[in-house]
Amino acid sequence: MQRVHSEDRLFTSYTKKTNRSCWSLLGLPFDQVDPSQAIDLIDEAIKTKRKCFLSTPNLNFIVQSKNDESFYESVIYSDLVVADGMPVIWTAKLLGIPLQSRVAGSTLFETLQNKRRDKPISVFFFGGKGTAAEQAAEKLNRNSVGMIACGALNPGVGTVESMSKTAIIDQINAAQPDFLVVALGAKKGQEWIMKNREKLDVSVISHLGAVVNFVGDNIQRAPLRWQKMGLEWVWRITQEPLLWKRYLVDGLWFLRLMLTKVIPLAIYQKILHKKASKGVLVKIINDVPGGSVELVISGSAIMESGRFLKSSCRKILDQLESSPSISINCTKLDYIDSSALGTLMLLKANIKRRGGAFGLFGTSPRINRLMRLHGVEEFLLEQ
């Protein structure tokens, strides 16, 4: 069986774990974690020096991912994806997806900075407007009991390429941060992380643009009551009036998505779920050592809290993770749910990242329609 190259291990160290429970929602994979579990994963990554690219999609992330392939892939290739936005949680509940609570990037950072520990987490702020990064570092060192700022840098206005010069990467690495907070605007920030993640000697990397302003007291975060009601956007507009245009565009897009994708999916999957056969069979029909693996999936691919392609199929998963080429025969598949789709998205991302090939074939019009409504058809069926 082909081994994963050493340079690939940094990327796959978290993503390849088969106990990662992931659900496809609005076209993106979301990890089924609550805030405390996300904190534990971040703490573990820092403690073990394992790289973790944390993405925190909100509605704006989802909108941009539909229009920008590289932005979309930055979320797909993340090591931990949490739902940062009440519209995401509301949609999950409507579709029966068990994402119970919002996991806001700002809340995660606030919890970490207020959690007393023997060795504080070292943080580097990269980006922000003007002197926002320096202000955040100063305030963090003055107020935090769980974090210490080891550096701050505003690279100025420029391209991702100009912000990725060796001198900049060396400056960040020299500070030896555990946590790199990027604030370049979501699109540019995610692109910058994707370009430089393997060059950076940092455990946790995340684009958390608002965190720089919140920590530096340049902007006040909405009261908890407003956050729970999903009205944080109203509060943000009062503090940053220019945001109204972005929220208007995102809101109109979300309404269109609900009418054309989410509500039809909620109805369609209820109808199909009742008719679907019980159980799923995953069988290897062709396994060539050092070569490709071909699978047949039969029945109803329903995860039930993440068990599809896991537990009884652990041996198969281990083979899949190290195979250079995987093809999956879906001719006998009559139903597939959000969690099975999320698992397949992660599997394909892993294989593509290391230059392998992944393909689904024999999907019926019913399965294609389900994938289209979930927003994953183009990614999963692309050869």
DSSP string, 220-232: PPPPHHHHHTT-H
Residues 112, 84, 151, 140, CA torsion sign: negative
- Sorted by where each begins, the domain ranges of the chain are 32-253, 276-381
pLDDT tens, position by position, 269-295: 888 877 665 555 566 555 555 556 666
d(CA 282, CA 23): 19
8 Å CB contact between 43 and 120? no
Q: What is the per-residue pLDDT for 323?
A: 64
Q: What is the 3-state secondary structure (H, E, C) of 114-155?
A: CCCCCCCEEEEEEECCCCHHHHHHHHHHHHCCCEEEEEEECC
Q: What is the per-residue pLDDT for 283?
A: 62
Q: What is the per-residue pLDDT for 19?
A: 54
Q: What is the per-residue pLDDT for 10?
A: 31
Q: What is the per-residue pLDDT for 7?
A: 30
| Mean pLDDT score of the chain | 81
Any bridge partners for residue 123, and if so which? 149, 179
- Whole-model pTM: value is 0.84
Q: What is the per-residue pLDDT for 122?
A: 96
- How many Å is the maximal CA-CA distance in the chain? 61
Helix axes 59-67, 244-257, angle to 10 degrees: 70
Instruction: Name which CATH class applies to 276-381.
Output: alpha beta
Instruction: Find tokens 């290897």 and name the residue.
Output: 284
pLDDT tens, position by position, 325-362: 778 888 888 888 888 888 888 888 888 877 778 888 88
- Lowest mean pLDDT segment, chosen from 9-18, 145-154, 199-208, 359-368: 9-18
- Binned at pLDDT 50, 70 and 90, residue 251 comes out as confident
8 Å CB contact between 338 and 24? yes
d(CA 229, CA 208): 22
- In order of 15, 105, 186, 291, 310, the CA distances from 56 in angstroms are 16, 6, 10, 36, 26
| pLDDT above 90 as % of the chain | 42
- Binned at pLDDT 50, 70 and 90, residue 216 comes out as low
- In order of 22, 53, 262, 285, 349, the CA distances from 80 in angstroms are 10, 6, 24, 32, 13
pLDDT tens, position by position, 107-156: 999 999 998 988 999 999 999 888 889 999 999 999 999 999 999 999 98
Beta-sheet pairing, 204-207 with 280-287: unpaired
**One-letter amino acid for residue 20 of the chain:** R
8 Å CB contact between 339 and 306? yes
Report whether pLDDT(160) > 80. yes
Q: What is the per-residue pLDDT for 290?
A: 55
Q: What is the per-residue pLDDT for 305?
A: 38
pLDDT tens, position by position, 59-77: 888 888 888 888 999 999 9
Report whether pLDDT(304) > 50. no
Q: What is the per-residue pLDDT for 39?
A: 95
Determine the average pLDDT of the residues in 201-209: 93
- In order of 19, 44, 53, 248, the CA distances from 38 in angstroms are 14, 10, 12, 30
- Lowest mean pLDDT segment, chosen from 82-91, 125-134, 281-290, 368-377: 281-290
Report whether pLDDT(313) > 50. no
| pLDDT above 70 as % of the chain | 77
Q: What is the per-residue pLDDT for 174?
A: 97
